[in-house]
């Protein structure tokens, strides 16, 4: 149709102005963005989200507040160990944001925790040194060889570390005895907590989730003719994860809804059914969700998802691979065989598998409509000495534009009737209309315009063009016209488009000819 211009920008959202949620304001290339673009856009546009993306991908952004309950003290009092383990002031990211230092940002969680523990022990030594100084001052004779604070400070360290007394030590005094008892019990409890924190911090399986890459962009496009929501998952470690499970949920706000009992529910959470996931995860996978009449995404467009503040939350759950068990060498291996067999023990595992969890979310602006993920799996070249498959991890979230149209094709034959017949039948139309079957009415064929494609009508005994198979049949239809109509539905803008082309049989139809090939593989195009 004249004046009906089509561009990929309408598919990708690039034609929208920034205030309408378009992508024209991006400094990055839309389809080749690199990692972290959406985190910058969320911060710049002040977009609310349930889950973080970018460097802090998976972290919950939901903040719990209470006017009657001191939530921090409640968690510290009721869940001390986990609260201390997950305290923000123990995380390297906290210091990176506060100090804006690259060096601090690269510190490991173990070093940060060790620094705080060292500061804690130093504080305890200083505190007990002060208490021993008070004992020396107000209870003369309880501690020999100590008169100043520096001496009592060293005495506190010696007592807590159980090094052994030398020139300074306690004497027969109840004040010194009780203080030694308190310091000893406190030291045992403190060591137990510190060792538990250190071990849990170092051996926490959550760090295994850092090697799971979930693309920070998703696409809605057709695959095998079916509309699907897709994102990519990759495991960069060579160790295998056990029973990986990927789940996706659609959170929508909008105006909320009321139940049959009158209860108001402000947010709606609906699961998205995902296709099978390869349990090996040897190569990056594109996880698919089919958008059909059962899908919560059915009927939605970019505008409707943005208006409802929709967010798709993706979770990845798996278990770390358990270390290989080893057999403990028994102390009685030198005994006779029949005795050692009775005393033998089963193999002892070094470490059992632990579950871990990764998470990612996508806002409406972060879903590429009509895009496809860039291919990142590379085959080894022929003749390589040590061939290896490689994965370009830098482009795990990059996309490129693809067809986002639902297209049907129809072909019509207009046969003009003779002038004598038209004069004899003035009330009848001057032409006869025949539909030429090309497979799309019954849905047997799929028309994909990623590359040029031929639309075929088979001329058989039941075809309106059956007379062309006989000599002179084509000449009889020389004045007839063939009209090809393409109708498509653009999912991004929810608009219908139509293209039409008319061919005169006598001048445009080539009998016995084939179309020349115009598509060549990339290898032949170099």
Is 339 domain-assigned?
A: no
pLDDT in tens, 274-286: 987 777 888 899 9
CATH number of the domain encompassing residue 172: 1.10.287.70
| Average pLDDT of the segment spanning 473-479 | 86
Q: Is the pLDDT of residue 94 over 70?
A: no
pLDDT of the residue at 492: 59
pLDDT in tens, 179-193: 889 988 988 998 888
Q: Is the pLDDT of residue 376 over 50?
A: yes
Higher pLDDT, 245 or 33: 245
pLDDT of the residue at 17: 41
Q: Is the pLDDT of residue 151 over 70?
A: yes
Can you name the residues that pair with 287 across neighbouring β-strands? 231
CATH number of the domain encompassing residue 4: 2.60.40.1400
pLDDT of the residue at 108: 54
Is 371 domain-assigned?
A: yes
Chain-centroid distance, C-alpha 467: 59
- The Cα–Cα gap between 187 and 177 comes to 15
Q: Is the pLDDT of residue 60 over 90?
A: no
Is 50 domain-assigned?
A: yes
Whether 391 and 284 have beta carbons less than 8 Å apart is answered as yes
Q: Is the pLDDT of residue 490 over 80?
A: no
- The Cα–Cα gap between 331 and 211 comes to 41
pLDDT > 90 in the chain, percent: 13
Handedness of CA 149, 155, 157, 160 (dihedral sign): negative
- The Cα–Cα gap between 360 and 217 comes to 9
pLDDT band at 232 (very low <50, low <70, confident <90, very high): very high
Is 333 domain-assigned?
A: no
3-state secondary structure of 489: strand
> Which pair of tokens denotes residue 403?
């067809």
Q: Is the pLDDT of residue 26 over 50?
A: no
Residue 258 and residue 355 in one domain: yes
Total number of domains in the chain = 3
pLDDT of the residue at 28: 40
Whether 213 and 283 have beta carbons less than 8 Å apart is answered as no
Residue 226 and residue 306 in one domain: yes
Tell me how many degrees the CA angle 180-185-191 measures, rounded to the nearest 5: 120
| Average pLDDT of the segment spanning 391-417 | 82
Among residues 372, 402, 432, the one where a domain terminates is 402
Residue 416 and residue 440 in one domain: yes
Among residues 160, 177, 207, the one where a domain terminates is 207
Residue 453 and residue 364 in one domain: no
Residue 76 and residue 200 in one domain: yes
- The Cα–Cα gap between 418 and 430 comes to 8
| Average pLDDT of the segment spanning 383-411 | 81
pLDDT in tens, 311-350: 999 999 988 876 544 444 444 455 555 544 444 545 444 4
Higher pLDDT, 73 or 356: 356
Is 332 domain-assigned?
A: no
| Average pLDDT of the segment spanning 403-411 | 76
Q: Is the pLDDT of residue 512 over 70?
A: yes
Residue 421 and residue 465 in one domain: yes
pLDDT of the residue at 62: 77
Q: Which of 26-30, 48-52, 133-137, 311-315 has the lowest mean pLDDT?
A: 26-30
Is 334 domain-assigned?
A: no
Residue 495 and residue 465 in one domain: yes
Q: Which long-range contacts (CB under 8 A, 24 or more apart) does 161-169 make?
A: 168/143, 168/144, 169/143, 169/144, 169/145
| Average pLDDT of the segment spanning 138-159 | 87
Whether 152 and 146 have beta carbons less than 8 Å apart is answered as yes
Residue 239 and residue 180 in one domain: no
Give the domain extent around 300: 1-62+208-323+349-402
- The Cα–Cα gap between 362 and 53 comes to 8
pLDDT in tens, 97-129: 444 443 444 445 567 777 878 888 899 999 999
| Average pLDDT of the segment spanning 209-213 | 85
Whether 402 and 372 have beta carbons less than 8 Å apart is answered as yes
Handedness of CA 301, 304, 307, 308 (dihedral sign): negative
| Average pLDDT of the segment spanning 22-41 | 51
pLDDT of the residue at 487: 84
pLDDT band at 252 (very low <50, low <70, confident <90, very high): very high
pLDDT of the residue at 68: 66
Read off φ and ψ for residue 43, nearest 5 degrees: -70, -40
Read off φ and ψ for residue 235, nearest 5 degrees: -115, 115
Is 376 domain-assigned?
A: yes
Burial class (CB in 10 A: 0-12, 13-18, 19+), 498: exposed
pLDDT of the residue at 274: 92
Q: Could you tell me the CA-to-CA distances from 393 to 64, 204, 211 in Å, in that order?
A: 36, 25, 11
| Average pLDDT of the segment spanning 72-97 | 58
| Average pLDDT of the segment spanning 425-430 | 85
Neighbour order of strands in the sheet with 405-416: 431-436, 405-416, 481-490, 495-504
Q: Is the pLDDT of residue 76 over 80?
A: no
| Average pLDDT of the segment spanning 477-501 | 82
pLDDT band at 352 (very low <50, low <70, confident <90, very high): low
Among 402, 403, 404, 399, which Cα is nearest to 376's? 399
Is 328 domain-assigned?
A: no
- 72-102: burial string, b at 16+ Cβ within 10 Å, e else: eeebeeeeeeeebbeeeebebeebbeeeeee
Among residues 165, 184, 207, the one where a domain terminates is 207
pLDDT of the residue at 109: 58
Q: Which of 66-70, 170-174, 290-294, 362-366 has the lowest mean pLDDT?
A: 66-70
- The Cα–Cα gap between 333 and 341 comes to 9
pLDDT band at 2 (very low <50, low <70, confident <90, very high): very low
3-state secondary structure of 244: strand
Q: Is the pLDDT of residue 80 over 60?
A: yes
Residue 93 and residue 28 in one domain: no
pLDDT of the residue at 226: 83
Mean pLDDT of the chain: 77
Residue 383 and residue 250 in one domain: yes
Residue 214 and residue 293 in one domain: yes
Residue 229 and residue 369 in one domain: yes
Whether 394 and 234 have beta carbons less than 8 Å apart is answered as no
> Which pair of tokens denotes residue 410?
């129809």
| Residue labelled with tokens 């291996």 | 333
């Amino acid at each position: 149709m004249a004046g009906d211009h089509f561009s990929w920008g309408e598919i990708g959202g690039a034609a929208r102005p920034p205030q309408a949620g378009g992508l024209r304001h991006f400094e990055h290339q839309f389809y080749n963005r690199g990692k972290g673009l959406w985190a910058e856009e969320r911060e710049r546009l002040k977009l609310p989200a349930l889950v973080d993306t970018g460097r802090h991908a998976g972290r919950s952004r939901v903040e719990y507040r209470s006017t009657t309950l001191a939530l921090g003290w409640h968690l510290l009092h009721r869940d001390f160990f986990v609260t201390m383990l997950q305290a923000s002031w123990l995380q390297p990211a906290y210091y990176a944001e506060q100090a804006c230092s690259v060096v601090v940002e690269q510190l490991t969680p173990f070093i940060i925790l060790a620094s705080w523990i060292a500061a804690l022990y130093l504080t305890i030594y200083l505190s007990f040194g002060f208490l021993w100084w008070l004992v020396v001052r107000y209870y003369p004779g309880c501690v020999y060889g100590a008169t100043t604070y520096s001496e009592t400070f060293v005495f506190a360290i010696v007592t807590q570390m159980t090094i052994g007394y030398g020139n300074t030590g306690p004497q027969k005094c109840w004040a010194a005895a009780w203080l030694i008892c308190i310091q000893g019990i406190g030291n045992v409890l403190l060591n137990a907590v510190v060792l538990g924190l250190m071990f849990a911090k170092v051996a926490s399986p959550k760090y295994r989730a850092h090697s799971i890459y979930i693309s920070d962009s998703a696409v809605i496009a057709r695959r095998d003719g079916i509309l699907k929501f897709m994102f990519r998952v990759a495991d960069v470690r060579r160790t295998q994860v056990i029973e990986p499970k990927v789940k996706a949920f659609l959170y929508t706000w909008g105006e909320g809804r009321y139940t049959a009992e009158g209860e108001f529910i402000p947010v709606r959470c609906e699961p998205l059914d995902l296709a099978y996931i390869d349990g090996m995860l040897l190569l990056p996978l594109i996880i698919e969700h089919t958008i059909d009449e059962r899908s919560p995404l059915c009927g939605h467009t970019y505008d409707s998802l943005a208006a409802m503040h929709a967010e798709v939350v993706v979770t990845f759950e798996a278990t770390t691979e358990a270390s290989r068990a080893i057999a403990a060498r028994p102390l009685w291996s030198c005994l006779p065989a029949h005795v050692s067999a009775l005393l033998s023990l089963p193999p002892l595992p070094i470490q059992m598998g632990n579950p871990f969890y990764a998470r990612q979310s996508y806002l409406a602006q972060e879903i590429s409509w009509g895009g496809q993920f860039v291919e990142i799996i590379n085959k080894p070249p022929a003749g390589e000495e040590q061939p290896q498959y490689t994965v370009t991890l830098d482009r795990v979230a990059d996309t490129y534009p693809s067809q986002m149209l639902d297209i049907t094709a129809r072909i019509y034959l207009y046969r003009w009737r003779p002038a004598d017949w038209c004069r004899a039948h003035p009330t009848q139309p001057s032409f006869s209309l025949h539909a030429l079957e090309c497979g799309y009415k019954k849905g047997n064929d799929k028309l994909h315009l990623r590359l040029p494609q031929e639309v075929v009508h088979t001329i058989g005994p039941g075809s309106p063009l059956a007379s062309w198979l006989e000599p002179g049949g084509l000449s009889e239809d020389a004045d007839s016209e063939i009209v090809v109509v393409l109708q498509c539905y653009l999912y991004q803008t929810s608009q219908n488009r139509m293209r039409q082309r008319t061919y005169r049989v006598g001048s445009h139809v080539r009998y016995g000819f084939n179309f020349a090939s115009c598509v060549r593989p990339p290898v032949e195009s170099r």
